[in-house]
Amino acid sequence: MPHADAAYVPSGLSKQQFWQHIYEQLAALLEGQRSWVTNLANASSLIYSSLLAYTPHFGDGERAVNWCGFYVDSPLFPTPRYVQVDPGQQPQPTARKLLLAPFCGKPACQLINVTPGKARGVCADAFLQAQTKLVPDVEAYPGHIACDGQTKSEIVCPLILRRQGENNVVVGVLDLDCLAPGGFDEHDVKGLNRIADLVVNACDW
Ligand code: SME
């Protein structure tokens, strides 16, 4: 099957069937690949394209999903190979941040501060609290970061890496934005949490 066909969505699916369909398509697409960059790129494309093809809910003009992507904890990104050191300078403590990772949609903010006490926004809260955030009205959410003024609602799932015999680690978040208020519901929370688990377990971090 050509890779692009993974985003084909049959008509007449209920929301539960729709999320199960995406889960199965994504599982097949990620098989045999462990790079988080590659897998997050294909995951954001598959989810975004499938949502836009799911016409009664997300594909219709003013109800459309307008952004789908990932933010990942900054230490997981490659570090500069050569660091210029000023001999007279003390090293400065750096802020903890999430960096923009693969996504589909318009350009978005590159980094999100997740330093406890300084963090703000939906992604930072989902990451620090390891909890999915369903936001029916972004303007009513304290500290919401507006990357696109057209976004009206949002859902953010933490990417939780569960390790046997060790503490869980949150490696990033999966973020979806919608042009309509109340664009996402509890079915989407459930469906997307399963997708987030699938993606985390398909990658080496
Ligand atoms: N709204 C998010 C920022 C990311 S963008 O929506 C893509 C937040 O409040 O954290």
Report helix angle 36-53 to 186-201, nearest 10.
150
Q: With 0.85 as the threshold, say if the pTM is over it.
A: yes
Q: How far apart are CA 204 and CA 38, in angstroms?
A: 11
Q: How many angstroms is it from 190 CA to the middle of ligand 1?
A: 20
Spell out which residues line ligand 1, taking CB within 6 angstroms: 67, 108-109, 112, 121-124, 144-145, 147, 154, 175, 177
The residue nearest atom 1 of ligand 1, judged by CA position, is 145
pLDDT in tens, 52-95: 999 877 877 888 999 999 999 999 998 777 766 677 777 666 77
Closest CA to 160 of 194, 111, 118, 115: 194
The structural architecture, per CATH, of the domain 3-76+95-201 is: 2-Layer Sandwich (3.30)
Low-confidence ranges of the chain (pLDDT < 50): none
pLDDT of residue 9: 86
Residue from 99, 122, 139 to probe ligand 1 pocket by mutation (most atoms less than 8 Å from CB)? 122
